[in-house]
Structure formats: C-alpha cells, structure tokens
Structure 1
Amino acid sequence: MQLVRQKGNTAQYGHRSAVRPRGRYGVAVAALLVAALGTGCGAADRAAPAKTKAGEAGPGAAGALANSAEQLKAAQQARVAAAKKWGLLKTPLMAPAAPKTKPEITTREGFEVEDQDELPPVFTTVPTEDKVVFLTIDDGAEKDPEFVRMMQELKIPYTAFLSDYLVRDNYPYFKGMQDAGVTLNNHTLNHRYMPALSYEQQREEICGQQDTIQKQFGKRPTLFRPPYGNYNQDTLRAAKSCGIKAVPLWNAEAFVNRMDYREWDRDLHPGDIILTHFRGREDWKGTMPDMIRHVMKTVTDKGYAVARLEDYL
C-alpha cells in the first residue's frame, strides 16, 4: 500500500524517464541582442513608435531599439564584471525567456505511489527543450551573507526548500532572500524521515511548515521536497491536503568539489533539477560561494544556463 522512495541525500543512479525532450540550446548573448532588436522587449519598446505621414515607424522606434540594445549591453557588462569579482572562470550563460506555455509536469516513471494520478507529481527533471537547469537549495543551516550578495550580483536564480528548525533563529536572512526574488518552499518543520511517520504526523510536519512560512514570509508554498527525498503515499496525500501542487526532487547534487548524478551517464540534461544545501565549512571543505563557483563552472562548461524553476512550473 505504501511505496517508499528512498533516494538519500546523495543522488543515486537510476533509469531516465521515458520522455526527455532534446533540442534547442540556451540563448547566447548575441542572439538575445538580435532578438531584442527584432522584437523590442524593453519598457521603451512597449510604447507605440512615432509614425510618419507614410504610416511608417519614425525616429521613436529607432531610439527605443537603441535603448534596448544599450540595456542588454550594460547588463552583460555587469554580469562579466560580477563573474570576475566572484572568481568565476566564465560568465554564466543567460537563460532564455520563460516559456509562454508551461510544460506539463508528470510523475517520473518508477517514482509512483498508489493513486498517483490524484496526487502531486514527483519529478527530477522538467520537460523542456531549453538547455537550462534549475538550482535548488535545501534546509537552511548555513546563513552566509556573502552567498546572498554573490547570487544577487551574478543574477543566478535559485529556489529554497526550508526546514523551520534550522531557519527559525534567523528568519530575516531568508526574508532578505525572498525580497531579492527567491521563492521559499516547504522542506518540513523538523526534517524527519517521512515514511516512518503516520499520516497525521506527516501532515503536521508539512502543514505546520506551510503555516510557518506563510506567517513569517507572507506566502504559502506550492512546492514541497520531502527530507532525504523519501516519501510514501501518505506523504503525498498529506502534502496535497496542505496545498502542495508539486514535489520536485533532483537529478544532480552539487558540493564544493564535485557533482553527483542520478542518471547512468553521469551528466546534465535539459531541465534537470540540481540539489545543494545551505552548508559551510563545518560540513564542507569550503563555503557556499565555493560551491557556487564549482557548480557554475560545471553548468557553464556544459553549455547550460540556470533558469528560474517557478517559470517552468
């Protein structure tokens, strides 16, 4: 009746989902510039261009296009400067625009429980042809202000999954993160092994964290990640009753000196979710900025950009 998915804190190898779209690569800066010039995507471009007597676009359109190009150029220069400041060997690639139609998310093959169709989907990869990956960070033990500054200056999106017993001593740290655009999601109150708990105990862990996040940060999460990646049918039933819509796991895990992979080919794939943790020197041989330098080298060397997970869900 209850099927336990035991993944551990380190990604294990497994078979790939039967459907994994391949195709279009991430958008290079030059391509973005061309697109901006062709479509006009700045605030100035949304204004109607001046018209001549012949009905053609006048100087206003040219000025708007030039302004858009200058904005893109300035943004890229800032990214290059930030990459140098934070010790990245390469400037992170820019993710494409968020998809107009979000992909359909279904449970990964082999990760189902009974009555799965009625429960939130469990997945490790988002179906997309974009050459993007998604960075997610769990628990909340380390509260490094340098990490927050680094991510803001590099403009690298990420999603947090928080456990209250680790974050309650410094809610303002995570509030600042939220104010910078990071979505704060549910990783339970106390990070317990969920399949060992009753349905009611699991519901207390999940709904209790829903209530805490709403109280402290003003927004009730829709995403939930079970501790250690372990769950059973009761976990998903409880999560659904607490307002959870989806359960993202991970296909790769990042550390300060390595990447672990779930798939047999030990590689990244379009739409893969990357897991890492709020950790520092007490747990790693390095800091969170060290971890970001390593993961971004891996991601960029493989031609991927980091995109915002919520843009695809």
Structure 2
Amino acid sequence: MVISAHPFRRTLGAALVVAALASAATACSDSGPAGPAGAERGAPAPGPGRQGLAQAPGSAGALNAYVERVRQQKAARALAAKKWGLAKTPLDAPAPPKVKPKITTRKGFETDGEGLPPVFTTVPTKEKVVFLTIDDGAEKDPELLRMMKDLRIPYSAFLSDYVVKDDYGYFARMQKSLESGVALHNHTLNHRYLPGLSYKQQKREICGMQDVIEKRFGKRPPLFRPPYGNYNEDTLRAAKSCGVKAVPLWASEAFPDHMEWREWDRDLHPGDIVLTHFRGKGDWKGTMPDMIRRVMNVITAKGYAVAKLEDYV
C-alpha cells in the first residue's frame, strides 16, 4: 500500500496548483469577455487553454511553463489580429467533444433512400462555435495561407479538380500550414449540376475527385459538398459508394462586403456551417484576406469561435 503524503505537503501542493491555475485564468482573460459557451460559464479559457489545463503536468514548474506558453500564443494571436486589420482577436474554440455528435439529415433535405450520408447545414452542439468552409479552389492567394496561419483559424476546403489541377502544390501547402487545422474535401471533378447527370456520370464526378485527393494529398476525404448545394438520391448513393460519410451544406455565406443567410433571423447559431469561395478581385469586391476579415469580424462580434469541422463530424 502506498502511504499518503504528509498533510502539509498536500496543502502546499494544492496551493501551488491553485495559484498556477489562477495565473492561467488571468493570462487567458485577454481574449475578451464574450468567448465560447464554456468561457461564459466560468470554465478555463477554450482552445489551448481549456484542453491543455486538463492535461497539464502536476508540478508547479511545468504548470507555470504551460501557462507562459498559452500567454505567448494568445499574445501572438492578438498581434496577428492587428496585423491583418481585424476589429478584435478571434475567440479560441473549446476543446473538441470527446464523442462526436450524431449527424442527421436536415428536415426538408431528405431523399427516399435509406442509409445514405446525412445532408446538413448545422452541426448539433451547444457550444458557441461555427465552422468555416471554402469551396472550389479557383483563387490561389498566398496571402490567405499566411493570414490563416498567423491567426490560427481552422477551415475546410472543398475542392474541384478543374480549378485546382494547375497548382496542386498550393493546396498541399495549405494542408500543412496550420498544424492539421486545414482539411481538404470533395467538390467534384468539374463542378457540374449533379441532378442533371445519370448515376454513372455522378459517380465519375464524385469518386473521380476522391481518387484525385487521395493521390495528391494522401487521404481519401470523408466529406463531400455537391456543387450549388444541389443533389438527388443518385448523388448520395454515388458518394456513399466511394467512401463519403457526410454531406455538409451551409447556413450562411461570406463575401468581402456582406454576409448572406439561409435562416429567417439572419444570424449565427451554434454549429452553423459558413460557406465562402476561393475568389479574388476579378470575381468580387475584395481579396480573400478581405473576405476573412469581414467574416471573422462578424463571427467574433457575435461571440462565436471558429472550430474545426472534422472534430465534430
């Protein structure tokens, strides 16, 4: 049997841990009072703060080193927000759920088929998080990669081969640029209107892009988004046949100068998926960094953080 430590040592150790945790809370408080839902309930700061504290070593020295690392990360993110012209520093996302929520097809988006990948616009969660997704791959702005890495904002890219094949390297750099914060998914080979195609043609569009992504980027993606958000039962059957697990659409869409909304209240909700596109000044009123600045200002002002979609789906 192991003999318990002396009461005085236990008291001293507890005091050191409490002091270190209090220091962590102080260091993490400069993200602003809104924060994700966990922060509003008085929990430790989300993101690196919340997840790391749960795993922090027991010694006071290691805890203090951890607290200092978190403080430095937050300071760097605040400086990056100023550098890129954001109104406020983005809020840190909470730790990913231990068990991913069950995703079901949104009411009104069903087909007659059973056992098909779910189609949804919002992930079921109570956390104040949203998910940023970027479609097609036409614009390959190096400033986007630098901005997202500096700000540490995760996102999911849904790629179409006809516009990415001239520079696969750009998306390979994207995949590696944010410490696994970026995931590459399927948006078909040629961005065609899928319900107008036969099952065989749809399967070629979807499964062909599965093959491209696996060959070029090393992993067969589990997520697929149909062009224009249009699909039928054949679409979902074809997608399932080549490994697609879910079909995320979107609840809102971001542009450099405005937001567009699916829901009647024109607002964000916990778990909403935000869509935007790889576009530049030739297609809309601004650059990709302009668009990110706009959408992040909206997201942060409403008290939301951007989380990684693949942590929930």
Length-normalised TM-score, structure 1? 0.84
Q: 1:137 to 1:234 in 2, by over 3 A?
A: same
* Aligned match of 2:295: 295
Indicate the residue corresponding to 1:152 in structure 2. Answer: 149
Deviation of residue 41 (structure 1)? 4.5
User: Match for 1:147: what amino acid?
Assistant: L
CA contact (8 A) 1:87 1:293 kept: yes
Q: Which runs of no fewer than 5 residues in structure 1 stay unpaired? A: 1-23, 50-60
Partner amino acid for 1:213?
I
Whether the 8 Å CA contact 1:26–1:303 is kept in 2: the answer is no
Compute the displacement of 1:102 (Å).
0.8
Structure 2: distance between partners of 1:109 and 1:41: 37
Do 2:50 and 2:94's aligned partners in 1 also have CA atoms closer than 8 Å? no
Q: Which amino acid aligns with 1:255?
A: F
- Tell which has more relative contact order, 1 or 2 (C-alpha 8 A, sep 6+): 1
Given candidates 174, 186, 194, the residue that maps to 1:177 is 174
Q: Deviations over 1:207-238 (max 9, x none)?
A: 10001111111111110000000000000000
Q: Deviations over 1:239-284 (max 9, x none)?
A: 0001100000000000001110100111100000000000000101
Compared with structure 1, are the counterparts of its residues 135 and 201 closer, same or farther at alpha carbon in structure 2 (3 Å cutoff)? same
1:130 aligned partner, one-letter code: E
Partner SS state of residue 40, structure 1: helix
1:27 equivalent to 2:27? Answer no
1:30-179 alignment runs, 5 A limit: 31-33=43-45, 40-41=53-54, 45-46=56-57, 49=58, 61-115=59-113, 117-179=114-176
Name the SS of the counterpart of 2:166 in structure 1.
helix
User: Hey, what's the Cα distance between the residues in 2 that align with 1:37 and 1:90?
Assistant: 21
Deviation, 1:40, is 3.5
Are residues 37 and 156 of structure 1, via their aligned partners in 2, closer, same or farther at CA, if it must alter by over 3 Å? Answer: closer
Tell me how large the CA RMSD over aligned residues is: 1.8
Structure 2: how far apart are the matches of 1:300 and 1:104? 27
Count, aligned residues: 273
Tell me by how many angstroms 1:179 deviates. Answer: 1.2
Aligned match of 2:10: none
Alpha-carbon separation, structure 1, partners of 2:235 and 2:106: 16
Distance 1:71 1:31 in 2: 19
SS of residue in 2 equivalent to 1:185: strand
Is contact 1:106–1:121 with CA below 8 Å preserved after alignment?
A: yes
> CA 1:188–1:64 in structure 2 vs 1: closer, same or farther (change >3 Å)?
same
Aligned to 1:176, the other structure's residue is in SS state: helix
Q: Name the structure 1 match of 2:16.
A: none
* In 2, Cα distance between equivalents of 1:94 and 1:162: 27
TM-score normalised by length of structure 2:
0.84
Q: Distance in 2 between matches of 1:36 and 1:226?
A: 36
- Structure 1 CA distance for aligned equivalents of residues 284 and 38 of structure 2: 31
CA gap of 1:40–1:269, structure 2 versus 1, over 3 A, is closer
Cα distance in 2, alignment partners of residues 85 and 129 from structure 1: 32
Judge conservation of contact 1:119–1:237 (CA < 8 Å) in 2: yes
Partner residue, 2:198: 198
Q: Where in structure 2 are the equivalents of 1:296-311 lying within 5 Å?
A: 296-311=296-311
Q: How far apart are the structure 1 equivalents of 2:216 and 2:141?
A: 20
Q: Compare the two structures and name the one with the higher helix fraction.
A: 2
- For residues 14-72 of structure 1, the C-alpha deviation after alignment (integer angstroms, 9 at most, x for no partner) is xxxxxxxxxx71537x9535995997356xx34xx4xxxxxxxxxxx111211111111
The letter for the 2-side match of 1:129 is K
Amino acid in structure 2 at the alignment position of 1:160: A
Equivalent residue letter for 1:93: L
Partners of 2:308 and 2:43 lie apart in 1 by 20
